[in-house]
Chains A and B, each alone.
Chain A
Amino acid sequence: MTGRETVLEVEDLTVSFPTEDGLVRAVRGVSYDLRQGEVLGIVGESGSGKSVTSMAVMGLLPGSAKVGGSVRFRGRELIGAPDKEMRSIRGGRIAMVFQDPMTSLNPVYPVGDQIAEAVRAHNDVSAAAARERAVELLAMMQIPRPRERARDYPHEFSGGMRQRVVIATAMANDPDVIIADEPTTALDVTVQAQVLRALETARAATDAAMVLITHDLGVVAGTADRVLVMYAGRPVELGSVDDIYYEPRMPYTLGLIGSLPRLDNARRGDRLIPITGSPPSLLELPPGCPFAPRCPMRQENCETAEPELLAASTADHLAACHFSADLEGRRPEDVFAQTSVDNAGGAR
């Protein structure tokens, strides 16, 4: 992957929403690069700023949101770009796959028309040619009898098929970047793999870079090249999939891995190790590391100074923890052992 052209550069992106209770700082400085053909997984729990980050990249945040920092697509600055320029990039160069295929298709039009609409929004082609392209895309997405199915309405498709229609729409204009915002969350586990395969097909066919937003670490492990872990609006760890899974250097990442049910090296009687507590309010973040209140390793300076995102095991593996060096070789059950015992009685 290295050596390929960088298509998307996000630098110190910040997003905040003014509310009646004060300023909600949803994203507090996210930076990442995306190279052509690469898959970047963004993981984190609800409210960690994953979706807001990508909505900011697309320029789809409501007008009240305050966006700072820089997003460059092939060198063009997108933050503050005129609406007309953004429209040509949206759907054309950067496409998006939404979470819920039940609601992201318009119920009153046949799916073929909706894909054709995407084609025609960015290409000067006839309606017939656009429809032809729609059928072609449906076929690529393994929709059986695509020509007939193109005339069917969204409610005549299953959830997995609908999501494949959405993916077909996203790849309609041969984009350079596909942002998939929790594409499998609303689906049954059985069709998740199918949809992930469809996403991979779309990515390979367009040679696009992909941002895969999810809170499912299993999905990321199987699909992504690199992983960005977010917590309370900030990236807390960034590295290759192997770095993140085998050598996490941030207690939060370690906790996430520990709380994941695994079929491979599980032993009988193993309990999942939860991370106690819940994420902090983004309204009034305390100084220091936002994870500190839940962190079993916290020490005094964790509550006063927020750690920088610094190189950890290798130069490309970054972690935001004062004690990332101490985590080398530690397993989730070692670090979170105390809390798991506390909760053993009430655990599932």
Chain B
Amino acid sequence: MSDDTEVAIRRTSNRPAAVVVRQRSQAELVLRRFLRHKAAVISLVLFVGVILLAFVGGALWRYDYADITSAPSVPPSFEHPFGTDNLGHDTFAQVLRGTQRSIEIALLIAFLAGLVGTLWGAFSGYYRGITDSVMMRFVDLVLTLPLLAVAAVLTRATSGSWWFVALVIAALQWAYVARVVRGVVLSLREKEYIEASRALGATDRWIIFRHVIPNALGPIIVNVTILVAAAILVETALSFLGLGVQPPDTSLGLLVSEAGTAVSTRPWLFYFPGVFIVVIALTINFIGDGLRDAFDPTQRKVRA
């Protein structure tokens, strides 16, 4: 933080002399450090662009993803920027729709897994002892469950709507968040302000929700961001194997899977959704990287 001090002092020089030197607020520091991470900033712009394209563009585009046009199997053209498949579906419309679904699924997974993982980890780390042992052994158990096998059983047994796929993935991914949060909480619980809060007569639940979790927010946000990227890839993998989103609905994974046989004859069907998967996963990873640096107060180096 030392390189911020000079700026911080300059900022305060026109304030009344009686005021102590003002440091930057936590949020300002985080934002500043994030903005210094160029890859993360570019990724954020790109990611927001993809979201806008998928949700706004998808609604405005002249074809719906389910429309069957009169021109099957045409390569990219002005009329069909990403071409069409053998039934005449406009690939651009389908990719936009698939992107919507994939992002929705990923965000739902991140939200659910983040929420459950945070609470689980916070309680486990805060109470320690036998509670911790039992809760963490359960986490270990969840971590050993093979995702593909569980997903195969559960999605086959049900309709396979997109939110159910998200639910299944979240049910297996929260354990990673729980582990990280527990580790952070184990050190946070020894902080003096936790002790001070206890000395003020606060209940355990109050301390966990008001003092422990807010202070663990940095690592939590970072992990959830990384989880979003992982979730996109897992959803893609599941859909590719036919265990995720079921037709007629579509997702990026499903599109790649359906086009798998046509790579050499109609490559546009395969490469366009593939590029979207790579772009989304990559940008979110970079954003997570930038957030991790931003929330780490020991990070001082300017990143390229």
Judge whether A96 and B196 touch: CB under 8 Å: yes
The contact of B193 among A91, A106, A122, by CB within 8 Å, is A106
Given the known A-B contacts A98-B192, A103-B192, are A90 and B23 also in contact in the complex, defined by CB atoms under 8 Å? no
**Chain B positions within 8 Å of A121 at CB level:** 200-202, 206
Which positions 23-77 of chain B face chain A at CB distance < 8 Å?
23, 25-26
**Chain B positions within 8 Å of A155 at CB level:** 23, 26
Judge whether B198 and A60 touch: CB under 8 Å: yes
Q: Which residues of B contact A (CB under 8 A)?
A: 18, 20, 22-23, 25-26, 129, 191-193, 195-203, 206, 210-211, 214-215, 217
Shortest Cβ distance from A172 into B: residue: B200
Within the assembled complex, what's the spacing in Å between the Cα atoms of A109 and B18? 23
Interface centre among B129, B192, B202, B214 (most CB of A within 10 A): B192
Which positions 71-90 of chain A face chain B at CB distance < 8 Å?
86-90
How far apart are B204's CB and chain A's nearest CB, in angstroms?
A: 9
Shortest Cβ distance from B215 into A: residue: A108
Judge whether B26 and A107 touch: CB under 8 Å: yes
Judge whether B195 and A104 touch: CB under 8 Å: yes
Decide yes or no whether A100 CB sits under 8 A from chain B: yes
Tell me whether chain B's interface is mostly helix, strand or loop, or mixed. helix
How far apart are A172's CB and chain B's nearest CB, in angstroms?
A: 8
Judge whether A117 and B200 touch: CB under 8 Å: yes
Within the assembled complex, what's the spacing in Å between the Cα atoms of A161 and B22? 14
How far apart are B5's CB and chain A's nearest CB, in angstroms?
A: 12
Judge whether A158 and B20 touch: CB under 8 Å: yes
Shortest Cβ distance from B24 into A: residue: A155
Decide yes or no whether A118 CB sits under 8 A from chain B: yes
The contact of A108 among B20, B196, B214, by CB within 8 Å, is B214
Shortest Cβ distance from A152 into B: residue: B22
**Chain B positions within 8 Å of A108 at CB level:** 26, 214-215, 217
Decide yes or no whether A92 CB sits under 8 A from chain B: yes
The contact of A118 among B20, B200, B203, B214, by CB within 8 Å, is B200
How far apart are B24's CB and chain A's nearest CB, in angstroms?
A: 9
Judge whether B201 and A166 touch: CB under 8 Å: no
Decide yes or no whether A273 CB sits under 8 A from chain B: no
Judge whether B195 and A60 touch: CB under 8 Å: yes
Judge whether A169 and B23 touch: CB under 8 Å: no
Given the known A-B contacts A103-B193, A161-B20, are A95 and B199 also in contact in the complex, defined by CB atoms under 8 Å? yes
29 A-B pairs (CB sep. < 8 Å): A58-B199, A60-B198, A87-B201, A88-B201, A90-B200, A90-B201, A91-B199, A91-B201, A92-B201, A98-B195, A98-B196, A100-B192, A104-B193, A104-B195, A106-B197, A106-B214, A106-B215, A107-B193, A108-B217, A117-B200, A117-B202, A121-B200, A121-B202, A122-B201, A153-B26, A155-B23, A155-B26, A166-B196, A169-B196
**Chain B positions within 8 Å of A98 at CB level:** 192, 195-196, 199
**Chain A positions within 8 Å of B22 at CB level:** 156
Q: Closest 8 interchain pairs by CB?
A: A91-B200, A91-B201, A103-B192, A96-B199, A90-B201, A104-B192, A87-B201, A104-B196
**Chain A positions within 8 Å of B197 at CB level:** 106, 117
Q: Which residues of A contact B (CB under 8 A)?
A: 58, 60, 63, 86-92, 95-96, 98-100, 103-109, 117-118, 121-122, 144, 153, 155-158, 161, 166, 169
**Chain B positions within 8 Å of A60 at CB level:** 195, 198-199
**Chain B positions within 8 Å of A107 at CB level:** 26, 193, 215
**Chain B positions within 8 Å of A95 at CB level:** 199-200
Judge whether A144 and B199 touch: CB under 8 Å: no
**Chain B positions within 8 Å of A169 at CB level:** 196, 200
Shortest Cβ distance from B203 into A: residue: A87
Within the assembled complex, what's the spacing in Å between the Cα atoms of A109 and B202? 16
**Chain A positions within 8 Å of B199 at CB level:** 58, 60, 90-91, 95-96, 98
How far apart are A212's CB and chain B's nearest CB, in angstroms?
A: 16
**Chain A positions within 8 Å of B192 at CB level:** 98-100, 103-104
How far apart are B102's CB and chain A's nearest CB, in angstroms?
A: 34
How far apart are B185's CB and chain A's nearest CB, in angstroms?
A: 14
How far apart are A13's CB and chain B's nearest CB, in angstroms?
A: 18
Within the assembled complex, what's the spacing in Å between the Cα atoms of A95 and B197? 11
How far apart are A175's CB and chain B's nearest CB, in angstroms?
A: 10
Shortest Cβ distance from A96 into B: residue: B199
How far apart are A249's CB and chain B's nearest CB, in angstroms?
A: 35
Within the assembled complex, what's the spacing in Å between the Cα atoms of A121 and B202? 7
Within the assembled complex, what's the spacing in Å between the Cα atoms of A327 and B199? 41
Judge whether A90 and B198 touch: CB under 8 Å: yes
Given the known A-B contacts A104-B192, A108-B215, A166-B196, are A89 and B201 also in contact in the complex, defined by CB atoms under 8 Å? yes
How far apart are A305's CB and chain B's nearest CB, in angstroms?
A: 39
Shortest Cβ distance from B213 into A: residue: A108
**Chain A positions within 8 Å of B25 at CB level:** 153, 156
**Chain A positions within 8 Å of B203 at CB level:** 87
Judge whether A156 and B195 touch: CB under 8 Å: no
Shortest Cβ distance from A64 into B: residue: B129
How far apart are A81's CB and chain B's nearest CB, in angstroms?
A: 13
Within the assembled complex, what's the spacing in Å between the Cα atoms of A74 and B256? 75
